[in-house]
């Protein structure tokens, strides 16, 4: 398999090849619609990633089931956030970044050369660790900002209905419905994060990636975000990176434990049903990590 370099990468960087997949893994053609409808399964196949000469992930494969919350856990520096960013083609924005492998959304490789980058970003949304609303925009404008960026046209009445729907789904409507023209940057931290969730939902993604969305929030805001995530899982597949083991146990259906030992690239040690991993893990390293013995 040919590794893919970012457009800003040094073309002389030495990259290790990865073997092709075994027979029987053929996928749907590039003319199949990436957007689709309904809940979507996300599947990473043999993902290896580099920053320059430094390999940060080694042949990571993971299926993230449709309509479920998948938590990515593990110590700092094991490649969780890099893996998350690969899932919607953000890794390639980093200078010198490269990767090999495939990411399939309902059987379609989002990295196929004939697929547009914007298609992946519309179908697979992202919520970051630090809330990042557009501070000069109103709450209303923040929610629909993605429509303009993706060239999506809707009528005024449709836009207002969409704003209400997304703020309801983001768990923020009751708090802001009477001040939609107030600046988004004037909200509290927890409210800003829920506004970012609402903004992500406006373009109707099929998958929502969340990179430690509660790490900068107080316990009350964290609880509200967690409740929002569980409600959203009925209409969008969620993948979350978290260092909070209690949070992973509370919100996720499935879990993947990443580890990078002694300077080696990150790998998945164990993955599966969250309850089983926390109560009866198969690997001793998983047991030690979820019980707070390292990390």
DSSP string, 163-232: HHHHHHHTT-HHHHTT-TTSBGGGS-HHHHHHHHHHHHHTT--SEEEEESTTTTS-HHHHHHHHHHHHHH
What band does 193 get if pLDDT is binned at 50, 70 and 90?
very high
**Domain parsing of the chain, residue ranges:** 40-132+208-290
CA atoms within 13 A on the CB side of 106: 18
The larger pLDDT score, comparing residue 11 to residue 189, is at 189
Share of the chain above pLDDT 70, in %: 86
Residue 116 pLDDT > 90, yes or no? no
Fold topology of 40-132+208-290: Rossmann fold (3.40.50)
Please tell me the least confidently modeled range out of 19-28, 136-145, 277-286: 19-28
- pLDDT computed for residue 89 by the predictor: 92
pLDDT digits (tens, 9 = 90+) for 218-242: 999 999 999 999 999 999 999 999 9
Here the tokens at position 275 are 């309850």
The answer to whether residue 215 scores a pLDDT higher than 50 is yes
**Predicted local distance difference test score (pLDDT) of residue 261:** 84
Per-residue pLDDT reduced to its tens digit, 74-104: 999 999 999 999 999 999 888 899 999 999 9
pLDDT at 28: 43
How far apart, in whole angstroms, are the C-alpha atoms of residue 170 and residue 163? 10
Among 95, 194, 102, 97, residue whose Cα is nearest residue 143: 194
pLDDT at 285: 95
**Please, which pLDDT band fits residue 126 given cuts at 50, 70 and 90?**
very high
Q: pLDDT confidence of 34, banded at 50, 70, 90? A: low
What pLDDT, on the 0 to 100 scale, is given for residue 10? Answer: 36
Per-residue pLDDT band for 188 (boundaries 50, 70, 90) equals very high
Global pTM reads 0.85
Beta bridge partners of 64: 42
* pLDDT above 90: residue 191: yes
Q: What is the distance between the alpha carbons of residues 240 and 256, in angstroms, rounded to a whole number? A: 10
Residue with tokens 């900068």: 216
Question: How many whole angstroms separate alpha carbon 47 and alpha carbon 149?
Answer: 29
Average pLDDT over residues 22-46: 62
* Token pair recorded at residue 193: 């994060």
- Residues in the chain, how many? 295
- pLDDT reported for residue 22: 29
* Count of Cβ atoms closer than 10 Å to residue 154 Cβ: 13
Of 200, 196, 194, residue with least CA distance to 228: 194
pLDDT at 19 over 50: no
């Amino acid at each position: 398999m040919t590794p893919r370099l970012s457009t800003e990468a040094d073309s002389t960087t030495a990259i290790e090849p990865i073997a092709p997949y075994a027979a029987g893994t053929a996928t749907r053609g590039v003319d199949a619609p990436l957007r689709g409808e309904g809940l979507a399964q996300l599947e990473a196949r043999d993902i290896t990633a580099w920053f320059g000469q430094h390999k940060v992930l080694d042949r990571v494969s993971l299926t993230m089931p449709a309509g479920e919350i998948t938590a990515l856990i593990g110590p700092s520096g094991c490649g969780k956030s890099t893996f998350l960013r690969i899932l919607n083609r953000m890794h390639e924005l980093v200078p010198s970044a490269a990767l090999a492998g495939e990411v399939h959304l309902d059987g379609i490789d989002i990295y196929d050369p004939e697929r547009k980058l914007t298609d992946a970003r519309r179908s697979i949304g992202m919520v970051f660790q630090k809330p990042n609303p557009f501070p000069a925009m109103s709450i209303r404008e923040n929610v629909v900002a993605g429509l303009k960026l993706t060239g999506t046209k809707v009528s005024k009445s449709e836009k207002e209905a969409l704003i209400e729907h997304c703020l309801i789904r983001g768990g923020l409507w009751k708090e802001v419905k009477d001040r939609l023209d107030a600046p988004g940057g004037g909200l509290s931290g927890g409210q800003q994060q829920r506004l970012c969730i609402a903004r992500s939902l406006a373009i109707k993604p099929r998958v929502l990636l969340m990179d430690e969305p509660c790490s900068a929030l107080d316990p009350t805001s964290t609880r509200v975000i967690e409740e929002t995530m569980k409600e959203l899982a009925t209409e969008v597949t969620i993948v979350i990176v978290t260092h909070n083991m209690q949070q992973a146990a509370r919100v996720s259906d499935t879990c993947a434990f990443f580890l990078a030992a002694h300077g080696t690239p990150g790998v998945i040690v164990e993955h599966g049903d969250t309850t089983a991993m926390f109560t009866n893990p198969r690997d001793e390293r998983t047991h030690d990590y979820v019980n707070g013995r390292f990390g």
